[in-house]
Structure 1
Amino acid sequence: MKFLNKVTAVAKLPERISGLKEISKNLWWTWNYDCQTLFEDIDKVLWEKTNHNPVIFLKQVNQKSLDKVVSNDSFLERYDNVFSSFKSYLQEKNTWFNSTHKNYNDGEIAYFCAEYGLHESFPIYSGGLGVLAGDHVKTASDLGLPFVAVGFLYKEGYFIQKLDSNGNQESHYINYDFSDFPVEPAKDENNEDIYIEMNILRRKVYVKLWKIDVGRVPLYLLDTDIDQNDPEDRLLTHRLYGGDHEMRIKQEILLGIAGVKALRRVGVNPSVWHMNEGHAAFLNLERIREFAEKGLNFKQSVEAVRSNSIFTTHTPVPAGNDAFPVHMIERYFNYYWENLGASRDEFFNLGLEIREDGSHMFSMTILALKLAGRSNGVSELHGKVSRNLWKHAWEGLEAVEVPITHVTNGVHSETWISNDLQKLFDKYLSTDWRNKLDDPDIWSKVDDIPDEEIWTIHKKLKSDLIRFLHDRIKLQRARHGETVEQLNEIEKIGDNNILTIGFARRFATYKRATLIFKDLERLEKILNDEEKPVQLIFAGKAHPADKPGQELIKRIYEISRMPKFKNKIIILENYDMNMARYLVSGVDMWLNNPRRPHEASGTSGEKAGMNGAINFSVLDGWWVEGFDGNNGWAIGDNRDYEDLELQDKIDSVSIYNQLENEIIPKYYNTSDKGYSHDWIEVMKNSIKTVSSFFNTHRMLKEYTQKLYMPAIVQGKNFYSNDFEIVKDFTYWKEILERNWNSIKIKAVVDTDLSEEIAVGKEINVNAEIYLPGIGPDSITPEIIIARLEDEKVVSIKSFDLKLKKEIQKDLYKFEGTFEIEERGNYGYNVRVIANHPFMPHRNYLMNFVKYPE
């Protein structure tokens, strides 16, 4: 039949609950369970079917369902409370940031990331980095930070994972309709859609800008899948981490350069710029170009950019640190460096990395480090690993001195703590515990919760998990063509009386997903013990190009189908944020066994710990700081190995020994009430210690005080009075560059240090230092004492030398003393480092360290 046209009819939202549409367009609802419950109560089946997406839900909901709840007084009362909370949240003025920084009147904090894990219904994330970024943005909203974020609106996002009947991973992509997302086109001052014009390989590429509200924070998203672009360029924002090196460099050019242009178009002029991983590092090239337009030269522009830029590195694994061949960078930027006022060499030196094989690469991490005045890793150990990994960028410094600090990752508590537990906390902690997430005194009240109540909640969450995995496995095996009888057998999988251990994360080889299978005979005895059985649940994706990671998935699948492991080893497909919530709240124990020290942080264990799931982890990432001996178990010990086979053997034996001798006996040491008081004690310790520190409220406060505010102050100083300080600082630095290599140092120690000396003995040092064209005010001469272990520097202490006199032109005498405070082996030397009153820390400048020849 022919039609004049086609239309889609949707239910009319009754005026009485019309606020649901407004709420659906703001991701605030993703961390408000009361709000989610409203949609679920309207139509629970549809809520699940739409993957908890209120935008699609309101399009598909039946009119009768809406009319029914409007006549329900209880529903309307809850709706009024939720809508009032929503409005109050958006209008709140007395936020943590406003209370802490009452007179703040500067620009926004701009945050750039390639992915954001905000909710399973908005699939612009792949894993840990994105979920961390999503939690970062949510918390910036909670704390009231002047915050704005930039990313991509992916047409296909990250892949949907399916496992075939042999355990092979299949990658499927969905072509999303943006009208099903809570995004709106960003508008300019004339209320017109915003398009950004880019030049990539001398071809015009147009980027449409979208906006989504995350509580009080706007997130701007870039999209090239528009009619104005060539088919090739429309693909640039289709897939997250898809394609080859050519696709990746184009995406990163868009994120950085188009991202800056996007903020300018919406009238945002940030006071600090935060690059969350190296993918966004090109943003500072665009900022240099902007400063060049204002009349600054290249070196001045670099200093202006560094003053208020922050870089967070998230992984020591090479695959996570993008680097491009120099010839590729030349092809994409050969027209661009002139716009920066830079020569070719000056431009390439910003990111040049010479590999051990002699190849020259342009490293996005090096670029970010060189153009950020402040950099950090994401745990204490990761900060240490990063300093060692990138110390070559600070020639002359030992790893312990490299100015890469750390801010340990946390998670957004209201997103990840289950609704049932939150209600329990409302009852026993405080009605306002959500506003005191980083207060240990609040969390100490977890001890007041009766064991029976917390165990009842935990068993309920465990049952929810088992129902969830039944549904997922049925869909998977029905697709494989299993019979009705076989599908009915699925109901026997999972038992909420059995110790349940979860392992869910990205399947990269360094995470060693199959470590627990190293001794299958021993594992079989553990899992199938008649009195004290154990079940394992696995989930996770491997990147479509990561064949070794996919082999790990297949191996676990094959083991799970062995008769001796029937119903005791379960592997779920398509791990996402929805599944993660079921797992971290429903398992008894969270297993994590990466190859130390490759796990930068690892936030899934933090989510589990907050829910009372006990961590059983290698001492890597956050667990180095989190483990206290009473809140979980540590696999292996606190050391690194050169022999990887030996590391695997020791760690796997540690897993088996502790399961057999400590963990399983403690879990099954049940009272006549049917649960183990000893186990619940560890659960409570886990909740208290993890919740009070490893939350993003503590994390964002630390970022604010440690990085954001100092960068804002430095940027304001550098930019004032027509960039007067920038120009003076750059001029001073150029003088150092011309004369630095001519510095000569002659040091004399008045004590014979060829033999042993007593701890605490004062030692005098004299130094004659030749400073041609520099002068003593531009340097800090210092004695450095390096503590050595196995001939490696483990710590450094410095003592400044004081100027005594000018011996002759440009030659100065300095004196100082030092003493060694603890026994041990040490090395000592005298050196000169740069010094300027506007340097925020001693090692702010790269490669300005001079030792005696």
Structure 2
Amino acid sequence: MIKMKNLPEQFAHPYSFAPKFKKSAVYFSMEFAIDQALKTYSGGLGFLAGSHMRSAYQLKQNLVGIGILWKFGYYDQVRNTDNSMAVQFREKMYSFLQDTGVRFQINIQNRAVWVATYFLPSTTFGTVPMFFLTTDTDGNDNWARSLSYHLYDADASIKVAQCMILGIGGTTFLDKIGYEPDVYHFNEAHALSGAFHLYKKFGKVAEVKKHLVFTTHTPEEAGNEKHDINMLENMNFFAGVPMNEVRKISGITDNVFNHSLVALRLSRKANAVSKLHGDVSRKMWGDYTGICEITHVTNAQNNLYWADEVLEKARKKGDVKTITSRKKELKEVLFKTVADQAGKLFKPEVLTIIWARRFAAYKRPDLLTRDRERFDRLMKNTKYPIQFIWAGKPYPFDGGAINNFNQLYYLSHLYPNMAVLTGHELNLSKLIKDGSDVWLNTPIVTREASGTSGMTAAMNGSLNFSTFDGWVCEFATEQNSFVVPDAPHSPDWERDMVDISNMLDMLENKILPTYYDRPEDWQKMVLQSMNDVNAFFDADRMAAEYYEKVY
């Protein structure tokens, strides 16, 4: 088959490539948050990937995205009759995706599985050309069809199979359409099986490394995916490469196959997703042999998609009066959703603090409520009134995270100024970024590789209130954010108590008095924050840096 330097005409980019972005690259990701109408994401990783695809389009880059078409998406977050959180899986249908007509089989668990491919044209949502793979297609039995049903399936073997669809399936698809890019970019190690397909194709590790780059998002070695190497071989994860060769090229001598470690060994270059995460990653992997260079490209979000047009125009003019009035309008829009979901009437003139992201233990969603006495006093303060909103999706099979979500909901019964919302997807995320005055971020320090929700909140005139972690370390100053001092890293209970005390102190003694007593100082901070976030944390900069530093 003759390899093409450009995509086949029917899938081609609708623009001539910018001179500095002509090198061809394909971006593999398990999730993409492109539009509310396309449910192929769970949280931050997808939001990031979606912004990347949009900025690459705006910059006229020679980039293509490959993901999986999840039949049931991540899940629909709804409520039971008692208002506790419920997980609903509902079939998703997309008439705007085009069947490419390209079908092929890959070997999963010694079974031939059909993979069909769908195309998202650039002009549909303003992204680079994108392809989505699915096994929910004719010729497959129920088991094979189910492999592309649920994003991050709870069954370990099915999740491995999903990674194979992305990796082996994605690289095979490119071969089928005769497209051989200069760069294969694996966003996280989910597509790693594709590296073994490339090894079979090129015949040499050096050739694989020449083409492969890797982005790691996990700041703890223990958090990286590991599986028994024999289980992976039985599933055909290694694309037919014999086990002795797998061990030789991966450097795995025991039976524990660490996906991120092998990705670092088979890539030409890797990147972390913030400056701090780069330092953590180089230290974390530094004792392992054979790994590639690890640089960093700090995450960012697409301003054109996320920033409110009125706020953005006012920011560019330095018009704080318009920013202030527009924020009240946007809060009123958000508060209609609060009234609809929670039956509570929030007031636009009241300081509104929002915590909204994936519910995970290290993000500590309930942190400020753990000192119940001080939290109660705060919520009932008539001099400095406050409103709190929580939103976010726990992993659908994580009972602890779901319980945490429900406990916050039950606590909200005590307060007319506290709400917990469901349905945290792109639309709701935009509403709450627009409508927040303060964006609360409470991760355990060094556990948040980057985080990006605070970026889009800042683009919309919300001030970050955070522990000193991830992207915040590169952004925050006393002029644009509220950041608490670093707490001792252990023991856990002491770290949490120090963070709770520091955050409540800052809220009571600095944030609330500034908002109510010194509105001009508040407005000055908001404008500074908006200018600072747009100076470096727009995804156009990130997409350009991938070409400059990684590709």
Same topology, TM > 0.5: yes
Distance change >3 Å, CA 534–CA 628, structure 1 → 2: same
> Which residue pairs with 2:263 in the alignment?
368
Deviations 1:333-352 (A, max 9, x none): 39844xx4xx5233035556
Deviations 1:160-200 (A, max 9, x none): 11233555321101112232xx20011xxxxxx11011122
Taking only aligned residues, the RMSD between alpha carbons, in angstroms, comes to: 2.0
Distance in 1 between residues matched to 2:244 and 2:85, nearest whole Å? 45
Q: CA deviation at 1:329?
A: 1.4
1:87-486 to 2 correspondence within 5 Å?
93=16, 97-98=18-19, 100=20, 104=22, 108-164=24-80, 166=82, 168-179=84-95, 182-186=96-100, 193-214=101-122, 215=126, 217-292=128-203, 301-317=204-220, 321-333=224-236, 336-337=239-240, 340=241, 344-351=243-250, 360-394=255-289, 403-424=293-314, 429=316, 446=317, 448-449=318-319, 451-473=320-342
| SS of the residue 2:40 aligns to | coil
Name the aligned partner's letter for residue 658 of structure 1.
Answer: M
Structure 1 residue 624: deviation in Å? 0.6
Unaligned runs of 5+ in 2: 1-12
Match of residue 350 from structure 2? 498
Equivalent residues, number: 536
Cα deviation, residue 634, structure 1: 0.5
Provide the rounded CA distance (Å) in 2 between the counterparts of 1:320 and 1:256: 20
Cα drift, residue 281 of structure 1: 1.0
Instruction: Kindly state the Cα deviation for residue 327 of structure 1 after the two structures are TM-superposed.
Output: 2.3
Q: Which has the higher contact order (CA 8 A, sep 6+)?
A: 2
Please give the alpha-carbon distance, in whole angstroms, between the structure 1 residues aligned to 2:471 and 2:350: 28
Paired amino acid for 1:305: V
Query: What TM-score do you get using the length of structure 1 for normalisation?
Result: 0.61
SS at match of 2:405: helix
Percent identity over the alignment? 33
What is the correspondence of 1:701-716 to structure 2 with a 5 Å cutoff?
701-708=544-551
Tell me, yes or no, if the aligned pair for 1:166 and 1:558 is still in contact at 8 Å. Answer: no
SS at match of 2:133: strand
Task: Supply the distance in 2 between the matched residues of 1:548 and 1:313 (Cα, whole angstroms).
Answer: 26
CA distance in 1, matches of 2:430, 2:237: 47
Residues 108, 237 of structure 2: 8 Å contact kept: no
Q: Aligned with 1:242: secondary structure?
A: coil
Q: Does 1:515 align with 2:515?
A: no
Q: Contact 2:323/2:461 (CA < 8 Å) preserved in 1? A: no
Equivalent residue number for residue 471 of structure 2: 622
Structure-1 separation of matches of 2:413 and 2:488: 34
Tell me how far apart the structure 1 counterparts of residues 286 and 435 of structure 2 sit (CA, whole Å): 42
2: distance between equivalents of 1:575 and 1:91? 32
Paired residues for 1:723-802 under 5 Å:
none
Cα distance change of structure 1 residues 349 and 650 upon mapping to structure 2, 3 Å threshold = farther
The CA deviation at 1:422 is 3.5
Distance verdict in 2 for CA 1:523–1:289, change over 3 Å: same
Residue 612 (1) aligns with residue 461 (2): yes
Following TM superposition, by how much is the alpha carbon of 1:315 offset from its aligned partner in structure 2, in angstroms?
1.7
Which residue pairs with 2:7 in the alignment?
none
User: In the aligned structure 1, how far is the partner of 2:311 from the partner of 2:83?
Assistant: 35
Contact 1:411 / 1:603 at 8 angstroms: preserved in 2? yes
Picking from 418, 425, 448, the partner of 1:569 is: 418
Question: Post-superposition shift, 1:667?
Answer: 0.3
Q: Would you identify which runs of 4 or more consecutive aligned residues in structure 1 move more than 4 Å?
A: 90-93, 317-320, 334-337, 349-354
Deviations 1:380-418 (A, max 9, x none): 1111111222223237x9xxxx83111000000011112
Match for residue 384 of structure 2 among 529, 532, 545 = 532
Contact 1:500–1:537, Cα closer than 8 Å, also in 2: yes
Secondary structure of 2:337's partner?
helix
Per-residue Cα deviation, 1:786-829 (whole angstroms, up to 9, x for no partner): xxxxxxxxxxxxxxxxxxxxxxxxxxxxxxxxxxxxxxxxxxxx
Query: Which amino acid letter does the alignment assign opposite residue 405 of structure 2?
Result: I
- 1:666 — aligned with what? 514
The one-letter code matched in structure 2 to 1:539 is A
- Name the aligned partner's letter for residue 464 of structure 1: V
Distance in 1, Cα, partners of 2:538 & 2:237 = 44
State the secondary structure of the residue aligned to 1:424: helix
Q: Which piece of structure 1 moves more, 525-534 or 313-322?
A: 313-322
Structure 2 CA distance for partners of 1:284 and 1:551, relative to 1, 3 Å: same
Distance in 1, matches of 2:149 and 2:71, equals 4
CA distance in 2 between counterparts of 1:636 and 1:164 reads: 40
> Cα deviations across residues 211-255 of structure 1 (Å, max 9, x unaligned)?
002336211111111121111101111111123111011111111
Whether the 8 Å contact between 1:198 and 1:207 is mirrored in structure 2 is yes
Could you tell me how far apart the structure 1 residues matched to 2:29 and 2:152 are? 13
- Supply the AA of the counterpart residue of 1:609: A
Q: CA separation in 2, counterparts of 1:678 and 1:211?
A: 49
Change (3 A) 1:650 1:536: same
Give distance in 2, aligned partners of 1:265 and 1:288: 17
- SS across alignment from 1:226: coil
Question: Which sections of structure 1, spanning at least 5 residues, go unmatched?
Answer: 1-89, 187-192, 293-300, 430-445, 474-489, 671-675, 709-853
Amino acid aligned to 2:299 = N
Moved more, 170-179 or 532-541: 170-179
* Aligned position for 2:526: 683
Query: 2: CA distance between counterparts of 1:660 and 1:370?
Result: 49
- Alpha carbons of structure 1 residues 515 and 334: separation in structure 2 relative to 1, 3 Å: closer
Out of 499, 503, 511, the residue aligned to residue 655 of structure 1 is 503
Task: Output the CA distance in 2 between the equivalents of 1:158 and 1:368.
Answer: 25
> Could you tell me whether the CA contact under 8 Å between 1:352 and 1:363 is conserved in 2?
no
Q: Taking structure 1 as reference, are residues 230 and 319 closer, same or farther at Cα in structure 2, changes over 3 Å only?
A: farther
Q: Helix, strand or coil: the match of 1:261?
A: helix
Q: Is the 8 A contact 1:112 1:150 kept in 2?
A: yes
For the Cα contact (< 8 Å) 1:539–1:575, is it kept in 2?
yes
After TM superposition, the structure 1 = structure 2 runs for residues 16-95 of structure 1, keeping only pairs within 5 Å, are: 93=16
1:644 matched to 2:484: no
Q: Distance in 2 between matches of 1:183 and 1:499?
A: 42
- Residue 335 to residue 472, structure 1, CA distance change in 2 (3 Å): closer
CA contact (8 A) 2:121 2:129 kept: yes
- Residues 696-743 of structure 1 deviation map (CA, whole Å, 9 limit, x = unaligned): 1111111111111xxxxxxxxxxxxxxxxxxxxxxxxxxxxxxxxxxx
For 2:458 and 2:127, the matched residues in 1 are separated by 28
CA distance in 2, matches of 1:536, 1:335: 49
Q: Which amino acid aligns with 1:311?
A: F
Aligned residue for 2:6?
Answer: none
Does the residue aligned with 2:50 lie in a helix, a strand or coil?
helix
Cα distance change, pair 264–662 in 1 and its aligned pair in 2 (3 A): same
| SS of residue paired to 2:287 | helix
**Counterpart-to-counterpart distance in 1, 2:82 and 2:301:** 35
Amino acid at match of 1:325: D
Tell me, yes or no, if the aligned pair for 1:411 and 1:606 is still in contact at 8 Å. Answer: yes
Contact 1:144–1:216 (CA<8 Å) still a contact in 2? Answer: no
CA distance in 2, matches of 1:472, 1:268: 48
Which structure has the bigger radius of gyration? Answer: 1
- In 2, Cα distance between the equivalents of 1:542 and 1:319? 20
Could you report, residue by residue, the CA deviation over 1:570-594 in whole angstroms, capped at 9, with x for unpaired residues? 1001211101001111110000010
Superposition deviation, residue 206 in structure 1: 0.6
Distance 1:523 1:130, change over 3 A: same
